[in-house]
Amino acid sequence: MTDFIDAEGFRANVGIVLIRDDRQVFLGGRTGGRGWQFPQGGVLRNESPEQALFRELKEEIGLEKSDVELVATTRNWLRYRLPRQYVRRNSQPQCIGQKQRWFLLRLVGSEDRLHFDSTDTPEFDRWRWVDYWTPVREVIYFKRAVYVRALDELASRAWPGDPPSLPEWSSQEKNLRNLALRRASKDGVPAATDQG
């Protein structure tokens, strides 16, 4: 089985925002100290985004469907382009970025069930719970705009009427998102957009 890459070169992917009742989110430390991010992974051919969600949840952080409650999903696919140095030019089909469907999950099981040894090549080797907006500052730079878009859309659905307040640095992130959108539009495909 292989990941699905569309005709425009975007790899279908699911992103997972796992929350606790105290408004904190799970943030995984990439194996080998290569940064922090939310769990995510490719959608295989003939697999629905929801099927990919629960497969990735198990593979990356060891949780079963019964350990979580599905709260919400983004309404559309959110896209981002990979910087040129990350595009594998010799692979076919060529992947130039990702289109992601983001899922908001609430942990209902014990966090003792979290583990990273479900596969031979674990994505994460450590984790922590952080404030809702912290991942935007922790993730690699080219994913920040899509994190802002996903978290912004999901916040009001996690806590209707009382979403987490934007942090003081959010105006800087807005400027970053706008810059990312301008740069991507020069290449013909806006970053972190709602395209399918």
- What is the distance, to the nearest Å, from the Cα of residue 164 to the centroid of all Cα atoms in its chain? 18
Go through the chain and tell me how many residues it has: 196
Q: How many CB atoms within 10 Å of residue 85? A: 5
Exposed, middle or buried: residue 3 (CB in 10 Å: 0-12, 13-18, 19+)?
Answer: middle
Summarize pLDDT for 123-176 with one digit per residue, the tens: 999 999 999 999 999 999 999 999 999 999 999 888 888 888 777 776 665 665
120 compared with 167, residue with greater pLDDT? 120
pTM: 0.85
Q: Any idea what the Cα angle at residue 82 is, between residues 80 and 170, rounded to 5°?
A: 50
Q: Is pLDDT at 71 greater than 70 in this prediction?
A: yes
Q: What are the φ/ψ torsions at residue 9 (nearest 5 degrees)?
A: 95, 15
Boundaries of every domain in the chain: 10-186
10-186: CATH architecture: Alpha-Beta Complex (3.90)
Summarize pLDDT for 6-63 with one digit per residue, the tens: 889 899 999 999 999 999 999 999 999 889 999 999 999 999 999 999 999 999 999 9
Summarize pLDDT for 74-85 with one digit per residue, the tens: 999 999 999 988
